[in-house]
Structure 1
Amino acid sequence: MALNALTPEFAAFLAAHLPEGTIREAEPRHLADPRGRWTGQAGPVALPRSVEEVASIVAACASASVGIVPWGGGTGLVGGQLMANGPLPLVLSLERMNRVRDIFPEENMLVAEAGCTLQQVQDAAAAAGRLFPLTLASQGSCTIGGNLATNAGGVNVIRYGNARSLCLGLEAVLADGTIWRGLTRLRKDNAGYDLRDLLIGAEGTLGVITAAALILHPRPAQNAAALIAVPHPTAALTLLSIAQEQLPGMVSAFELISGMSLQFLAETLPEVRQPFAEPSPWLVLVDLGLPERLEAEQALIRLYETGAAKGLALDAILAQNETQRAQFWTLRENIPTANRRIGAVSSHDISLPLSEIPAFIPAAQKALGDIAPFRVNCFGHLGDGNLHFNVFPPKGGHKDDHADQREAVKRLVHDMVASLGGSVAAEHGVGRFKTADITRYADPGKLAAMRAVKAALDPAGILNPGAVLAG
C-alpha cells in the first residue's frame, strides 16, 4: 500500500486531538545523522507524554496511511532515525516519556520509559545499589527505546549480553494503535510467542517501544583495568581465553586496539596520552569486575605474566586507581573521534566467529592493498567478535580522492565477512544505510520470514518505512 505524505491539514488534525504543544515543527536535531551523510525531511514532530498519546498518534497515522519515523536520541549510525526521501513522514519523538516508573532492587529490575537516556537508567540503578551494565559512548544522549530498537551492544556484551539480554518485557504500540502492555517482571513465561524478542532489534518497524522492564545486576565490589601490548590479534585472542579461564565470569570487557588507532590519536588528538613510550602493533584493554575476596591488581599481574611467559604479552600498564582506569577508557572512546577527523573512505561494523578474526584482518588488509594503499584502523569488542574495520586514505590523502572506490571497498570487506559466517550489521543495526546489504547477504529463508512478519504486523507499512527492509 502506498503511503501518503503528511499534510498541514493532517498535522492540524493531530494537534487538535492532542495536548497543546504535542505537535510542532521538527528541530534540526530531529533530522540530523551524526555522521552528516543524510538529512531528514523537515516537517512536524510529535512529542507525546504517555503511551495513550502514542497510541492515538499511531492509530491516526494508520487511518491516513502516513509514515512514522520513531526518534530516540538521534545517535543511530545507520539512518534508522531519519527518512531523507519518500512521502513526508511524522517524526515521533519519545523524549518526553523519560520517567523511571518503578525500581525493584530485590528483584534486580526496573521499569523505564523509552525516552530515558541510558545514563539516566544507569544512575537510577546505581542509586539503588545495582548496575545496569549496558555501556555506550553516547550514553548521555542515546535512549533506552533506541537501545532496544537496535539491540545495542557496547563494551560489556562479553559479560552481560546485549540489550536483548537485559530486558524482561516491553510496553509498545503496534501499527494499528493497539497498546501491548507486556511489562512483565517474570523471568520465566512461555505463554506463546515472544513479542519482546520480536520487537527488540526491529528498529521501530514492527512497533513503537514506549517502556521496558530492564534487568539489573549486583555492582562488582571492585573494578580493575589494564592495557596490554600484544604482537598480533592471535595473541590477543589467546589472552582472552586465558583471562576467561583464570577469571570466569569476571571479564567485563576485552577491547582490541590497533597500532593504527594510536597513530590516528597522535595525529588528531595529541592531548590523549599515549600508553607506551614505544609504539605497539596491537593493544588489548581488559576490564574486570571483581568480588571483594579477589585482589584486583594481582589478578591482572597473573594474567600478564601468564601471557608474557607464552609470548602473548609484550608489556602492560595496570590502572592504579579509578582515575587511571577512566583514562584507559578515554583512549578507547576517542578512537571514533580520531577516525572522523581523519575521514574514512568506508566504515564497517562487522562481527565474526572469534577464531576467524586473526586470519581475516591481514587477509582483508592485503586485498584492500590491491585497490589502493589504504590505511586500515581495526578496533573493537574482541570479546564478542564485533570489530570496527575502517578504511582510510593514505597519509596526506583525503577520503574524497577515493569516492569512486568506496563501493568496491565495502563490497570486498563485506563479501569476506559473509564468506566466513560473519555479519555486516553487528551492533549498529540496518537502518536505511544497510538495506541493500541485508538483501544481498541474508539467508533467503530468513529474509522471506522477515517480510512476512512485517506484512502481518504492519500491513500498511507505516512504521519506519524504508528501514531494515527495502521496498
Structure 2
Amino acid sequence: MQKGEGTEKLLAMLGGDMVSTDAGLIERHCQDWHGDVTSSAIALLRPRSTEDVSRAVRACAELGFGVVPQGGRSGLALGAVPDGPASQVVLSLERMDRVRSLNTRDFTAVVEAGVVLETFKKEVAEAGLYFPLALGAQGTCQIGGNVSTNAGGVNVLRYGMTRELVLGLEVVLPDGLVLDLISRLRKDNRGIDLKQLFIGAEGVLGIVTAVSFKLMPAPDQTATALLALDSLEDAIELYRLARLKCCDLMSAFEFMPAEAFQLAREGIPDLTLPLEPAHRAYALVEMSGSGLVDIESLLAQFLELAMDEGLVRDGVVAQSKAQARNIWLVREGMNEGQARRGKHLRTDLSVPLSELAAFVAEAEAAVAEVLPGAVCVSYGHVGDGNVHLNVLPDPEGAEELDRQIYRAKTVLNEVLGRYDGSISAEHGVGRLKKADFAARASSVQRDLLERIKRAIDPNLTMNPGCLLDLEG
C-alpha cells in the first residue's frame, strides 16, 4: 500500500481529529530528544480516550501498519522514534491527560498515560501527598512513557523504580482489546501479575493508556548537601555510611566529577556555583521525612561522623529551598552542558555497587587509551550502581565523531562485560541499544522474549523495530 493511500484509509476510518498528516507536526514527533535522529511516518495519530486508542490499533492492524506509541519524547534509546516511514504510524498519548481519580484515604491515584509527570506530581502535592518519581525530564516526560520504560531517576534509593509504584494498568492490546488491570489494592496475589509484562516493555506488547499508582505521605522536611570528596571510592564509602546511619530517610545520593561544574555553567550560563570545583569528586546527598523525625539534625550528625571518618573535604548545606534547587541545578545543568558540546556518547550502565569505582577507573582508562583526546564524564546514582559514563569526542581528532563514539562504546561494553553489568540501567533498550542487548542476552532469554512477543502480538505490529528484531 502506498503511503498516500494508507493515509486516506486512516482518515476515512478514524477521522481528521485523530489523524494528522501535517508534515511539520509529524517531523517533530519523529525526532529524538537530542535531535540526533529524525525519521518520518505515514501519519500521526492523537487519540483522546482509551476507546480512541482501541479503534486506532484495530484500524492499523487491518491496514497492516506498525504502531509506535509515544509519550513526551524525552527517551534516550530511540524507543519512540519510528524507523519504518512507509509502514509505521506514530500514536501520541498527549491528549489523554486526565488524572481520573486521586484518593487521599487510599493513598492512590489513577492517571492517564499522557499526563506530564511534573503536572501529576503538583496535583498530588496539592492534595497533601507525594509521588516520588523524579527525573530531569519531568517537565516533559509523560506517565505512559515512564511506565513503559520503567523509569528510574534520583529517588530510586528510597522508593524504587517506576515498577515499584504501579498498582495496576489499563492496556490496549495489539488486536484492540482493552485489558483493564486498574486496581487500588496494595496486596493482590491472584496468580501471575500480568501488569508486569507491560512495565518496561517499551510498547512492544501493547499501549499503556492509564495507570493506578501508590502515593506516599508528603515529606515536610528536606535537607540537601553538596559535599567535596577525594575520589569516587570515598563517595561509595560515604554512601555506605549514610545507608547504615540514615537508613530509608536518605532519598537521593548522586555523584559527580569536578567537570560537572564547568559543564553546568555551559548549560546554565547564569548558574551560581555552590562550591568551587577544587576536588576530584562530589556527592549530592538529600534526606527527607515528616512528622516527628528531625531531618536537619540527622544530616548534621551524619556530616559530623563523615568528617570524623576523613571522607568529606568541603561542603555546603542548603539553608533554603532556593539553595537546594541551586545545588540540584549543578546535577541537571551538566546534562545541558554536554548537549551543547555536540554529538557524544551517552551511556546508562550499571554494575554491582561494590565494584562501581573500579569499573569507572578501568572504563575511563580504556577510553583514554583508544581516544586520547576524548573527555569522559562519569556521574550517576551511587546507591544503585548506575553510572552515566558519557564520552565527549575530540572535535579535533583524526577520526570523525561517529567513529569515535562507536570505538568508545565498544571498549566500554567490553569492560562492562567483565563486571557482569547492564548496558541499560534505567533508559531502556529501544532501537539504539537493540544490537548490544541481543549480543549479550542468552539464547534462552531471547527465545522466551520472542515467544512472549509472538503470543501477544502475532502480527508484530506493536512498536516494530524496538527492543527485538523479529520477522513475520
TM range (shorter): over 0.9
- 2:375 corresponds in structure 1 to 375
Question: 1:72-111 maps to which residues of 2 (within 5 A)?
Answer: 72-85=71-84, 87-111=86-110
Q: 1:131 to 1:88 in 2, by over 3 A?
A: same
- 1:332 corresponds in structure 2 to 331
| 1:11 paired residue among 1, 4, 7 | 7
Structure 2 SS opposite 1:238: helix
1:132 and 2:128 matched: no
CA-based RMSD: 1.8
**CA distance in 2 between partners of 1:461 and 1:313 (Å):** 54
CA deviations over 1:58-77 (Å, ceiling 9, x no partner): 11211222100111111111
1:311 deviates by 1.7
Gaps of at least 5 residues in structure 1 are: none
Gaps of at least 5 residues in structure 2 are: none
1:343 and 1:398 in contact (8 A); partners too = no
**CA distance in 2 between partners of 1:413 and 1:332 (Å):** 23
**CA distance in 1 between partners of 2:343 and 2:414 (Å):** 19
**CA distance in 2 between partners of 1:40 and 1:168 (Å):** 35
1:191 deviates by 2.1
| 1:21 paired residue among 10, 14, 17 | 17
1:390 and 2:390 matched: yes
Question: 1:441-460 maps to which residues of 2 (within 5 A)?
Answer: 441-460=440-459
1:29 and 1:74 in contact (8 A); partners too = no
Which stretch shifts more, 86-95 or 202-211?
86-95
Which stretch shifts more, 27-36 or 264-273?
264-273
1:49 deviates by 1.1
**CA distance in 2 between partners of 1:233 and 1:190 (Å):** 42
Structure 2 SS opposite 1:91: strand
- 1:114 corresponds in structure 2 to 113
Q: 1:293 to 1:359 in 2, by over 3 A?
A: same
1:39 deviates by 1.0
- 2:162 corresponds in structure 1 to 163
- Matching residue's letter, 2:294: E
**CA distance in 2 between partners of 1:155 and 1:331 (Å):** 14
- 1:179 corresponds in structure 2 to 178
- Matching residue's letter, 2:327: F
1:232 and 2:222 matched: no
**CA distance in 2 between partners of 1:400 and 1:81 (Å):** 30
Q: 1:6 to 1:262 in 2, by over 3 A?
A: farther
1:261 and 1:378 in contact (8 A); partners too = no
2:267 and 2:333 in contact (8 A); partners too = no
TM-score (norm. length: structure 1): 0.95
1:150 and 1:429 in contact (8 A); partners too = yes
- 2:286 corresponds in structure 1 to 287
2:349 and 2:386 in contact (8 A); partners too = yes
- Matching residue's letter, 2:11: A
**CA distance in 1 between partners of 2:419 and 2:61 (Å):** 42
CA deviations over 1:428-458 (Å, ceiling 9, x no partner): 1111111001111123322211111111111
1:402 deviates by 4.2
- Matching residue's letter, 1:249: D
1:167 and 1:215 in contact (8 A); partners too = yes
Structure 1 SS opposite 2:254: strand
**CA distance in 1 between partners of 2:128 and 2:267 (Å):** 39
- 2:143 corresponds in structure 1 to 144
TM-score (norm. length: structure 2): 0.94
- 1:436 corresponds in structure 2 to 435
**CA distance in 2 between partners of 1:173 and 1:145 (Å):** 12
Which stretch shifts more, 226-235 or 299-308?
299-308
Question: 1:213-228 maps to which residues of 2 (within 5 A)?
Answer: 213-228=212-227
CA deviations over 1:151-200 (Å, ceiling 9, x no partner): 10111011111111111000011011111011011122222322211101
Which stretch shifts more, 267-276 or 136-145?
267-276
- 1:272 corresponds in structure 2 to 271
1:78 and 1:429 in contact (8 A); partners too = yes
CA deviations over 1:388-444 (Å, ceiling 9, x no partner): 1011235x7479744323222101111211321211011111111110011111233
2:42 and 2:86 in contact (8 A); partners too = no
- Matching residue's letter, 1:152: A
Structure 1 SS opposite 2:105: helix
Structure 1 SS opposite 2:137: coil
Structure 1 SS opposite 2:228: strand
Structure 2 SS opposite 1:370: helix
Structure 1 SS opposite 2:422: coil
